[in-house]
Structure 1
Amino acid sequence: MEDLSFSPMSRVAICGGTHGNEMTGVYVIREMEKKKKDKVGNSVTVTTVLSNPEAVKVCRRYIDKDLNRCFTDTLLSAPLSANSPYEMKRAHELNALLGPKGNLQAVDFLCDIHNTTANMGMCFILNGFDWIALHLFKYVKSKTTFGPVRAIQFNTTLPEAYSLESVAKHGFSLEVGPQPTGVVRADIYNMVTETLDLIMDWLENFNSGSTFEGGEVEVYCQTAVLDYPRDPATDEIIAAIHPQLQDNDFKLLRAGDPIFRSFNGETVKYEGEEAYPFFVNECAYYEKRIAFQLARKISICLPSVCVKKN
């Protein structure tokens, strides 16, 4: 595969609190802002952003609507009024600060920090085939001192990405758990700060002219979402995640494996093709009618990457 070269990753944004009750990002951003110069290298200028400050104040996921679904071109170009949802107004502000999306003026790289209540460990959430993001995942995975580091690629058939990191030229979300909403855990916090330090190391080395060799990485590609069993008359949930599936994100799921335990004691079994479940019993996804998501595991061959020579 042919080597690829990219412009320097000079302007970097680290964001947290996009969901106001996911506390790792909130505290990481606050600490970075206290000692900002510690996170700025010779070739990287870092902008730190508390993405949804009003939701952070009240420790809620959002005020009016999910901010991390507000960054499509259609929504970013829609006119605003006094009655527009708070998160729509904030999305326009963030697009002006970090973008505009799809424009050469946008920041070179953006990392958005999230927490999940699911037992997923450290995950890189990717949209499409971003070679810079995939190389960063490969590097972090090879260097961390903690447990598994995984990459999840979301549905690439969508017309465009709707999440905050899509405003930048390159980027991803870090999804780290398990952590309850409104809570900060030292182990999760340390995983994120170690990951951010490694990201900064890679960016500095990339900008200084280092070539990062290609290779293969495993990625979980989202294939489906499953809702909880519901009462057809009332639409109420009538079953919980089965104990054998609970906390077993990324454990291969086969036909016949139990996935739900109904409140009357019956077991519901999985009927699809082999797949890997993730975001199992994620608190925030109840309103989205998602009990868990499914993925297939693929191998992606990365080209070598380096900075463009002037």
Structure 2
Amino acid sequence: MAPPSINQVLLVAGTHGNELSGLYLQKLIRDGVYQADRSTFQVKSTVANPLAVKKNTRFVDIDLNRAFSAADLTSDANEKRLAAEFVKQHAGNENQLIIDLHNTTSNMGATLILLSSDPYYTKMGAYIKQRMPEANILFEDRKSWQDQPYLCTTGQHGLMLEVGAQAHGSLKYETLELMKNLLTAVLDYIENTNLNHTVKLSDYEAYGYIEEVMFPLDIDGMRLATVHPTLCGRDFVAVEPGEPILATFLGYDMHWQGEETVYPHFINESAYCQSNIAMAMAEKRIVRVS
């Protein structure tokens, strides 16, 4: 099947209002400091949750980036209203690819999050790894495209960029540079594919999301453990079966009970505190494109 011919990229920032890297990358585009357009497509920008940006908070009522599943797009919540408006305005645009820009408090470096293992995206991952060997390619493809709750899956084509570590509500030079470099590589891939330019690509290592690890709680809803100190700041570093992942306040460790090696990411992400998510786990996979 022929790859899609993309004639517009929609660059979305402020899906989470206190993640500033994407907002400032949009500013660099407006100021002419960063060139996003290519010969075969134009780049348009939008801010997804302006009120959350104004308040410098992740969201107003609910997480906008979990509000796009096909069911229940009607609600009084600020973010449900925004989701319905976004779908109405952007979901039907053909030949458009949505890039949602995020930063995380976790030490994930430059991470390209792909919601499909369609050849267009697997080859994109190969191209990014070739251009940025330090980048992480993370597939969250266990759900169908239609069942994904994310903003970038409202149309036919989309992905997320995640950079870190960066405190929410703040801006760091290093993470902004990571986002610029990762976005440049993605835009160049789209351009080369549109032009049918042949680029030799190699098989590569990527990660596939499998599950989340929750903090244990007491009867008052308070945590009984923290992320184990040997894991903090070590996103995408291998954890073997039986190795510690949580340290309890009673002095004993909780260990990874799975039978396979896993790779934690979104470790101790501050935005997940309310949900008591300690980290997400991924498996390593070899993606074959040759």
Question: If the length of structure 1 is used for normalisation, what is the TM-score?
Answer: 0.86
Say which SS state the counterpart of residue 251 (structure 1) adopts. coil
Residue identity matched to 1:175: E
Counterpart CA distance in 2 for 1:236 and 1:108 is 44
Q: How far apart, in 2, do the equivalents of 1:9 and 1:157 lie? A: 24
Q: Separation in 2 of the partners of 1:214 and 1:54?
A: 42
Moved over 6 A (4+): none
1:194 aligns with 2:181: yes
Q: Give the drift of 1:51.
A: 1.3
Deviations 1:44-95 (A, max 9, x none): 111111111110111100001100011122234x4x5xxx111111112222
Tell me, which stretches of 5 or more residues in structure 1 are unaligned? Answer: 304-310
* Structure 1 SS opposite 2:203: strand
Match of 2:211 in 1: 224
- State which of 158, 164, 167 in structure 2 corresponds to 1:171: 158
Q: In the alignment, is the contact (CA less than 8 A) between 2:264 and 2:281 conserved in 1?
A: yes
- Inter-partner Cα distance in structure 2 for 1:41 and 1:56: 28
* C-alpha distance in structure 1 between counterparts of 2:116 and 2:128, whole Å: 19
Structure 2 counterpart SS, 1:26: helix
Unaligned 5+ residue runs, structure 2?
none
**Matching residue of 1:154:** 140
How do 1:33-44 and structure 2 match up within 5 A?
Answer: 33-35=30-32, 38-44=35-41
Aligned equivalent of 2:72: 75
2:84 maps to 1:98: no
60-69 or 206-215, which deviates more: 206-215
Separation (CA, whole Å) in 2 of partners of 1:202 and 1:188: 21
Q: 1:31 aligns with which of 28, 31, 51?
A: 28
Report the Cα offset of residue 110 of structure 1.
1.4
Q: Is the 8 A contact 2:130 2:201 kept in 1?
A: no
1:107 and 1:91 map into 2 onto residues whose CA distance is 20
In 1, Cα distance between equivalents of 2:156 and 2:105: 29
CA change 1:271–1:73 in 2 (3 A) is closer
- In 2: Cα distance, 1:157 partner to 1:206 partner: 26
Letter in structure 2 aligned against 1:12: V
Alignment match, 1:143: 131
Which residue does the alignment assign to 1:306? none
Counterpart for residue 300 of structure 1: 287
Letter in 2 for 1:119: N
After superposition, the C-alpha distances for 1:130-150 in whole angstroms (9 at most, x for unaligned) are 322332222122113xx7211
1:38-57 equivalent positions in 2, closer than 5 A: 38-57=35-54
Calculate percent identity across the aligned residue pairs.
Answer: 28
Whole-angstrom CA distance in 1 between matches of 2:95 and 2:91: 6
1:166 Cα deviation from its structure 2 partner: 0.3
Matches of 1:256 and 1:37, distance apart in 2: 47
Structure 1 residue 6 corresponds to structure 2 residue 8: no
Confirm or deny: 8 A CA contact 2:127 2:201 kept in the other structure.
no
Moved more, 110-119 or 153-162: 153-162
Secondary structure of 1:110's partner?
strand
Which residue identity does 2:101 align to in structure 1? I
Letter paired with 2:253? T
RMSD of Structure 2 on Structure 1 (CA): 2.1
CA distance in 2 between counterparts of 1:68 and 1:133 reads 20
Q: Structure 1 residue 109 and structure 2 residue 101: aligned? A: no
Q: Report if the CA contact (8 A) 1:32-1:48 is conserved.
A: no
Secondary structure of the structure 2 residue equivalent to 1:57: helix
- C-alpha displacement at 1:113, in angstroms? 0.8
Q: Distance in 1 between matches of 2:232 and 2:111?
A: 18
Q: Distance in 2 between matches of 1:107 and 1:92?
A: 21
Shift, 1:107, TM fit = 4.8
1:137, 1:41 → 2: CA distance?
20
1:29 touches 1:50 (CA, 8 Å); kept in 2?
no
Aligned: 1:251 with 2:263: no
* Structure 2 residue matching 1:32: 3-state secondary structure: helix
| Number of residue equivalences | 288
SS at match of 2:237: coil
- In the alignment, what sits opposite 2:112? 124
